[in-house]
Amino acid sequence: MRRRNVLPGLPLSLGVTLFYVGLIVVLPLAALAFKAASLGFEDYWRIVSSSRSMASYRVTVLSALGATAFNLFFGLSLAWVITRYRFPGRRIVDAVVDLPFALPTAVAGIALTALFANSGWFGSVLEGFGIKVAYTPIGIMIAMCFTSLPFIVRTVQPVLEDLDPALEEAAQSLGGSDWTIFRKVILPLLAPALLAGVSLSFARCLGEFGAIIFIAGNQPMSTEITALLIFIRLEEYDYQAAAAIASVLLLAAFFMLAVTNWLQARALRYTVKG
Contacts with other proteins: how many residues (CB under 8 A)?
Answer: 103
Binding of other proteins at residue 130 (CB under 8 A)?
A: no
From 26-34, 39-47, 48-56, 130-138, give the range in contact with other proteins by CB under 8 A. 26-34
From 44-52, 61-69, 126-134, 253-261, give the range in contact with other proteins by CB under 8 A. 253-261
49 vs 77 by CB, closer to other proteins:
77
Residues numbered 56-95 forming contacts with other proteins, rule: CB under 8 A: 74, 77-78, 80-81, 84-85, 87, 89, 91, 93, 95
- Cα separation, 220 vs 223, in Å, equals 6
- Which of 186, 190, 198, 263: binder of other proteins (CB under 8 A)? 186
Residue 107, CA distances (Å) to 103, 143, 208, 257 in order: 7, 11, 13, 27
CB of 247 to other proteins, least distance (A): 8
Binding of other proteins at residue 158 (CB under 8 A)?
A: yes
- Which of 47, 48, 112, 152: binder of other proteins (CB under 8 A)? 112
From 45-53, 61-69, 130-138, 241-249, give the range in contact with other proteins by CB under 8 A. 241-249
From 50-58, 129-137, 216-224, 238-246, give the range in contact with other proteins by CB under 8 A. 238-246
Binding of other proteins at residue 232 (CB under 8 A)?
A: no
CB 47 within 8 A of CB 39: yes
CB 191 within 8 A of CB 271: no
